[in-house]
């Protein structure tokens, strides 16, 4: 069942929704297995895996050694043999230790063997700032992996999509990288019961509007929604698009919105330079939607520095609601 035909809704946290998706996948398909450091008895670095090891045993919920490169290599190999691994990194930053397997193996094997094999691999990355985890545990690196042909990259912003996109990723024959913002794990929202998928490559219009388009990713969707509600009191009607998928990017939804509003603000937590917003901006500039623009495109991304440990500095280096509000007002009122 797809996201457009949902069963009855109830509330779960973002983490609970992910756990339920993994539970469904494990129960429905014996080829699915979970892998990662401390995901068994400990339940995962952020307790997302929970007690699934008690239900499915250590043959299907595998604690891997403290070697991201080694664990990722085993996951890629398992996928090539017909299994469907869901591999959890403790922090997205640790992908740097496994880039050989992700970028040179998982992303390329199908192409290099002429389509004779597939790599049905899911990798989960707890990402983003806001937990005081400092520079090596707080990055948003979705643009790194979004640059690689052969990978699909998603960023669910709601519990419903966290579950639906994970189940869609498990069903996908190609490697899917899922970036889960750590601050969202405790956020609650309506989640359909049972099996359903949220389509990979399809953005969601979270709020319709006519004056400006805000395209946001991950936790920035919630900040954009808060901004839009505050701006509405001043007569600024913002449309908010949750990109959901970095690769493949939903060109049609973004361009249709820009043609309607004539203005575009891109909001993302990753470093501004060469980030997701740069691709969105280029996509608009290279299309006929550019002719509909009434103002320059504005990008709001992370500062050109590592994430600080100090909580006030940590907030200062990524976009916040006042930053988004000021940018939108400047665009709408012709100050850029």
Return the active site residues.
68, 137
CA of residue 97 relative to chain centroid, distance: 20
Closest CA to 167 of 259, 32, 318: 32
Peptide bond into 248 cis (omega under 30): yes
Q: How far apart are CA 211 and CA 271, in angstroms?
A: 27
CA 67, 72, 73 angle in degrees (round to 5)?
100
Report the DSSP beta bridge partners of residue 247: 153
Q: How far apart are CA 212 and CA 329, in angstroms?
A: 10
Q: Tell me phi and psi for residue 85, to 5 degrees.
A: -75, 145
Q: How far apart are CA 187 and CA 156, in angstroms?
A: 12
Q: How far apart are CA 100 and CA 79, in angstroms?
A: 16
Residue 289 tokens, joined: 């939607």
Q: Spell out the residues 6+ positions from residue 3 whose beta carbon is closer than 8 angstroms to its own.
A: 160, 161, 164, 196, 197, 198, 199
Distances (CA, A) of 157 to 82, 179, 297, 319: 30, 10, 23, 16
The full length of the chain comes to 336
Q: Which residue has the tokens 């398909």?
A: 29
């Amino acid at each position: 069942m797809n996201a457009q035909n949902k069963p009855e809704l109830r509330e779960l946290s973002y983490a609970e929704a992910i756990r339920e998706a993994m539970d469904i996948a494990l129960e429905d398909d014996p080829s699915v297995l979970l892998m990662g450091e401390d995901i068994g008895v400990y339940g995962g670095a952020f307790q997302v895996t929970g007690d699934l090891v008690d239900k499915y045993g250590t043959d299907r919920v595998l604690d891997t050694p403290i070697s991201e490169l080694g664990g990722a290599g085993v996951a890629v190999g398992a996928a090539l043999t017909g299994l469907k691994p869901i591999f959890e990194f403790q922090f997205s930053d640790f992908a740097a230790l496994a880039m050989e397997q992700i970028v040179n193996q998982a992303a390329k094997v199908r192409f290099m063997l002429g389509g004779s094999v597939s790599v049905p691999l899911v990798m989960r990355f707890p990402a983003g700032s806001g937990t005081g985890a400092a520079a090596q545990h707080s990055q948003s690196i979705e643009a790194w992996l979004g640059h690689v042909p052969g990978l699909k990259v998603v960023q669910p912003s709601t519990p419903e999509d966290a579950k639906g996109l994970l189940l869609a990723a498990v069903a996908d024959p190609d490697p899917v990288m899922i970036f889960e913002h750590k601050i969202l794990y405790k956020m609650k929202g309506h989640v359909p019961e049972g099996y359903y998928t949220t389509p990979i490559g399809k953005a969601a219009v979270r709020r319709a509007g006519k004056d400006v388009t805000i395209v946001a990713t991950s936790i920035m969707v919630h900040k954009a929604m808060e901004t839009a509600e505050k701006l509405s009191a001043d007569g600024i009607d913002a449309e908010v698009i949750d990109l959901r998928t970095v690769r493949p990017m939903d060109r049609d939804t973004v361009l249709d919105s820009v043609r309607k509003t004539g203005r575009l603000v891109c909001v993302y937590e990753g470093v501004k330079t060469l980030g997701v917003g740069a691709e969105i901006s280029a996509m608009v500039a290279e299309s006929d939607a550019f002719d509909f623009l009434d103002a320059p495109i504005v990008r709001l991304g992370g500062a050109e520095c590592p994430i600080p440990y100090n909580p006030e500095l940590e907030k200062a280096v990524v976009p916040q609601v006042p930053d988004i509000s000021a940018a939108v007002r400047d665009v709408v009122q012709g100050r850029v």
